[in-house]
Amino acid sequence: MIRPVILSGGEGRRLWPLSRPERPKQFLALTGAETLLQQTVRRLVDPTLFQPPIIVGGMGQRFLIAEQLRAAGLVAARIVLEPIGRNTAPALAVGALLAAAEDPDALILSAHADHAIPDAEAFRAAVARGAEPAKAGRVVLFGVTPTYPATAYGYIEPAAGQASGVRDVVRFLEKPDEARAADLIRAGCLWNSGLFLMSAASLIAELDRHEPAVLAAARAAIAGAAADADYLRLDTDAFAAAPSIAIDHAVMERTANASVIAADFGWSDIGAWSAVWDARQHDADGNVVIGPALLEGSGGTLVYAEGARVAAYGVQDLVIVATRDRVLVVPRGEDQRVRGLGERADALGADGAIGAPSPSGPEP
């Protein structure tokens, strides 16, 4: 049995203005009727393979997590609240320690609350294939076969000359430019999905070897935590002492035990508005319309309207997102600029000057 550890602490700023710190993208219904968090928990419902998940999220997310689970009829073994964001390594250290305390032989699956995997059956089959090598002490990553030369994803190079299935990892490659990404795909590299399976004991040992300060802070944060029927609130001072580091840098790029499975399920981190456009069904002109919006004479355009009606005519390949108090218009191919653009827009005062927003919030 596998204990999923779902990471829900992200803010999703590349999906501004809909995704914002008070309601990050994992709590939005971006790719279907359910939110990304609800979809994530639902594909982990299989009593032959998974135990109920541990969900690690921010203190300000506690009611969102609990309410969305309740609304979807889903359950978690534990909702763990981080007093401050310290990246993925401390969060996963907490998950591993909690899982190991219940079962020293536990396997843990690291999952992200804001990823989209449409084929839950194929996902579960891939995870099941990784269970035996994970029991044997391997860090099993799930690499996604690239469909285009993505520049927003990291890549994994599997070892050559090994039988297909579980292969050793040669190296990790950070986000390349488009030409380099095309070369990596031709060489057989895979997208790094951020999903991995390993024993809790192995992760604890790897952290003790490579980032002992992370493990020590996680232990102290659990020891000083406040628990009630709904939440485990980690100790603030202890958790804040953890180095802020991603699990990729803390363990994956340093371990000698990494293996990769070429996953045969579709996957997206929904890291930009173009990914929402990709994930949704298009009309005959390649448009996606969500909410009260009207598109005429247009093609390849995503419109997401929430709290405002939108009408557009004669536009091509745009992203248009309207909320009650903010509007985004950007070429779909330039959506990686949204995070910085949104931060600058949020800094506008009511008079348009850069500075602190007015008490009622920025003008649209």
pLDDT digits (tens, 9 = 90+) for 127-162: 999 999 999 999 999 999 999 999 999 999 999 876
Is pLDDT of 361 > 60?
no
Nearest Cα neighbor of 197 from 173, 166, 239, 172 is 166
What does the pLDDT average to over 21-46? 96
Q: Which two tokens mark 156? A: 């994994």
Residue among 29, 23, 6 at smallest CA distance from 61: 23
Q: Using CA atoms, how far apart are residues 249 and 230, in angstroms rounded to an integer?
A: 32
Whole-number Å distance between alpha carbons of 81 and 95? 11
Cα–chain-centroid distance for residue 265? 16
CA distances (Å), origin 168, targets 140, 162, 185, 258, 333: 9, 8, 17, 6, 35
pLDDT of 227 strictly over 80: yes
Beta-strand relationship, 258-263 and 139-144 = parallel
Please give the C-alpha separations between residue 124 and each of 36, 116, 139, in angstroms, as whole numbers: 17, 14, 17
pLDDT, position 362: 37
Predicted confidence at residue 264, as pLDDT, reads 87
User: Length of the chain, please?
Assistant: 364
pLDDT band at 355 (very low <50, low <70, confident <90, very high): low
User: Torsions phi, psi of 269, nearest 5?
Assistant: -85, 5
- Beta-carbon count within 10 A of 76 CB: 18
Q: What is the pLDDT of residue 255?
A: 96
* Percent residues over pLDDT 70 in the chain: 96
- In angstroms, rounded to a whole number, what is the distance separating the alpha carbons of residues 188 and 252? 19
Tokens of 119: 């084929």
SS3 56: strand
HSE value, Cβ hemisphere, 13 Å, CA-based, for 91: 32
pLDDT of residue 161: 72
pLDDT for position 357: 45
CB 252 within 8 A of CB 202: no
Question: CA separation (Å) from 107 to 79, 101, 231, 316, 342?
Answer: 18, 12, 22, 48, 39
Q: How far apart are CA 215 and CA 250, in angstroms?
A: 11
% of the chain exceeding 90 in pLDDT:
90
Residue 364, pLDDT above cutoff 60: no
CB 250 within 8 A of CB 94: no
Residue 307: per-residue pLDDT: 85
Q: Is the separation of the CB atoms in 142 and 124 below 8 Å? A: no
Render 235-248 in DSSP notation, one character per residue: -HHHHHTS----HI
- Better-predicted residue by pLDDT, 184 or 363: 184
pLDDT at position 229: 82
pLDDT score, position 12: 87
Amino acid at 149: P
φ and ψ at residue 265, rounded to 5 degrees: -120, 150
pLDDT in the model for residue 172:
95
CATH: 3.40.640.10, 3.90.550.10, 3.40.718.10, 3.40.50.720. Which one for 2-263? 3.90.550.10
Q: Which residues are CB-neighbours of 271 under 8 A, at least 6 positions away?
A: 14, 152
Domain layout of the chain by residue ranges: 2-263, 273-346
The alpha helices in 103-227, defined as continuous H runs, are: 120-129, 131-135, 178-186, 200-210, 212-223
pLDDT at 352 over 80: no
pLDDT number for residue 164: 64
Per-residue pLDDT tens digits for 303-322 = 999 989 999 999 999 999 99
pLDDT score of 358 more than 70: no
pLDDT (tens digit per residue) in 60-117:
999 999 999 999 999 999 999 999 999 999 999 999 999 999 999 999 999 999 999 9
Predicted confidence band of residue 363 (pLDDT cuts 50, 70, 90) = very low
Say yes or no to pLDDT of 195 above 70.
Answer: yes
